[in-house]
Structure 1
Amino acid sequence: MSAEDDEIEKSSAPLIEHLIELRSRLIWALGGFFVAFLVCFYFAKQLFNLLVIPFKWAVHWAGLANQKVELIYTAPQEFFFTQVKLAMFGGLIIAFPLIAAQLYKFVAPGLYKNERAAFLPFLIASPVLFLMGASLVYFFFTPMVMWFFLAMQQTGPGSDVQISLLPKVSEYLSLIMTLIFSFGLVFQLPVVTTLMARVGLLTSQGLKDKRKWAIVIAFIVAAVLTPPDPVSQIGLAIPTILLYEVSIWTARMVERKREEERLAAEKQEEASSSTTPATS
């Protein structure tokens, strides 16, 4: 074997080791998702009934306490595939900590110790912020959106034409998933901007200067991600703007910490240079 072939053989060994490690992490991540999917599919009806609770709150807010909450499906297989979709969505949320941990374990050996220490808080903050956005959707914005749609009904003895809201199970689940995904994605804004500020791609002053554009973009993104009703669009745009302000504050904190570290390093360098004996 020539020297060139020997060098290629040595360089290919780490690549094979990384591929084996990647396969192991993928197996753990996919296995965790599959187990979570099976559990969620087994309890799919109970989970769907749990998601219907905000609809019940909306009925109560609309003053329709006597109206029965009813959802329909118009195709034989519709509710089955709705349960599959719900199980996949729930399984992904439940298995996300395991998936994120496997991703971190695969990437962490290639990072320096200070980089791992800096990256770990964001790995924890991301699912926490997502759950905060999902909770806001469940406890407030879904009832508000359904209340808005219920207000369009034409019911009662004084109405010649009876128009009632009978949502399909698939469309109701799509609405809930869209809202949860939209709010969960928007709530990642402080994490993304803080990471970009740490690597020097963003500054707090730059974020302040772009505040007007950020407000316009927040309403555009809300119009794209949410259903076409003003309640959900405004409901997503306002938290986005508030999170943008939080991002400015976190970027300022990152810059302040970086400046403190720079000053401490300069003082340490000055102290070490002053104590170094002069050479002849």
Structure 2
Amino acid sequence: MAKKNIGEMSFLDHLEELRWLLVRSSAAILICATVAFFFSDFIFNKIIFGPKDPNFITYRFFCDLSNDLQISESFCVTELPFNIQNTEVEGQVSLLIWTCITAGFIIAFPYMLWLLWNFISPALYEKERKYAKAFVSIASLLFFLGVLFGYFIIIPMSVNFFATFTVSPDIKNDINIQSYISMIKTSVIASGLIFEMPIIIYFLSKVGLVTPDFLRKYRKYAIVLILILAAIVTPPDVVSQVIVSIPLLVLYEISIFISAAVVKNKEKEKLNA
């Protein structure tokens, strides 16, 4: 059945379109999760447990960097004194299933963006609908950059901090596998979604909910929030917080530029109308 024009669609038609978006997205996640299942050994041993290894690439990079800059050797990770254990009967089965689903979500994200674009495209102008490939490509790139940032920056810092932190030498860190995996999933997905900030600002600016003046006015508050967020997800040292804060601040400044471009184009359209 041909897709109706947005002016011809009723509320129920919109709900039907949304239902199929969710159905297709769920199917894509399950298909990708099935593919991930066949690579579960690699996902667990190389990816998930990678930051548990003192020779992980991030630890080596920061150690070499600290040596080159002749700063604190605390960035050199020599050991991560903790064990990972499972304490639930069905824990490892549940862990395998939900890890594959998470991997499926990450892999299927570009396709879900394409479905989202098809859902909102009837509300856009004809010339804006031609930007589908650019939207999906840029949004996917930002998401995957966020995922990589979470995996290679936030997670190693968090693992190193929590593995070495102790209130007493009599307490050993035997970390529950569910807690460890939860930290991994939360960090990478949250980082991926946070990196979508420019895309979100673009659409908010299109509908008039956000303006560049608003973003500039509240920039100082945004900086404070970003620093607080960085302090939450990183160990309590200034260098780690700065490393996490810089990309977020850059994304915020890019969002201001995007919002300004959107507002400028809207003003040109009004003059030409």
Alignment TM-score, normalising by the size of structure 2? 0.72
Aligned residues between the structures: 245
Give the partner amino acid of 1:81. Answer: S
State the match for 2:165 in structure 1.
152
Question: What per-residue deviation string (whole Å, max 9, x for no partner) do you get for residues 227-259 of structure 1?
Answer: 585367665544333321221122223334445
1:197 corresponds to which of 184, 199, 205: 205
Is the contact made by 2:202 and 2:258 (CA closer than 8 Å) also made in structure 1?
yes
Distance 1:126 1:179 in 2: 18
Is the contact made by 1:194 and 1:250 (CA closer than 8 Å) also made in structure 2?
yes
Shift of 1:96: 2.1
Distance 1:85 1:44 in 2: 11
Does residue 123 of structure 1 match 2:126? no
Q: Give matches, 1:87-236, under 5 Å.
A: 87-109=100-122, 111-117=124-130, 121-152=134-165, 161=169, 163-221=171-229, 226=232, 229-230=235-236, 236=244
Distance 1:234 1:210 in 2: 20
Is the contact made by 1:131 and 1:184 (CA closer than 8 Å) also made in structure 2?
yes
2:38 corresponds to which of 42, 53, 74: 42
Moved more, 44-53 or 85-94: 44-53
1:176/1:121 CA distance change after superposition, 3 Å = same
Question: What per-residue deviation string (whole Å, max 9, x for no partner) do you get for residues 179-219 of structure 1?
Answer: 11221222121111122223333222221111122123334
Q: Give the RMSD, CA atoms, in angstroms.
A: 3.6
Equivalent position SS for 1:63: coil
State the match for 1:32 in structure 2.
28
Shift of 1:99: 2.5
Provide structure 2 residue ranges, at least 5 long, that are not aligned to the other structure: 1-7, 61-75
Does residue 62 of structure 1 match 2:77? yes
Equivalent position SS for 1:230: coil
Question: What per-residue deviation string (whole Å, max 9, x for no partner) do you get for residues 2-23 of structure 1?
Answer: xxxxxxxxxx998888777666
Provide structure 1 residue ranges, at least 5 long, that are not aligned to the other structure: 1-11, 155-159, 267-280
Give the partner amino acid of 1:254. Answer: V
Moved more, 53-62 or 28-37: 53-62
1:26/1:204 CA distance change after superposition, 3 Å = closer
1:23/1:218 CA distance change after superposition, 3 Å = closer
Question: What per-residue deviation string (whole Å, max 9, x for no partner) do you get for residues 138-191 of structure 1?
Answer: 12221122222233369xxxxx94654333221111111111122122212111
Question: What per-residue deviation string (whole Å, max 9, x for no partner) do you get for residues 118-137 of structure 1?
Answer: 56533332221111111111
Equivalent position SS for 1:71: strand
Distance 2:112 2:178 in 1: 27
Distance 1:234 1:77 in 2: 40
1:73 corresponds to which of 86, 97, 100: 86
Alignment TM-score, normalising by the size of structure 1? 0.71
Question: What per-residue deviation string (whole Å, max 9, x for no partner) do you get for residues 77-98 of structure 1?
Answer: 2122111111111111112222
Distance 1:253 1:207 in 2: 13
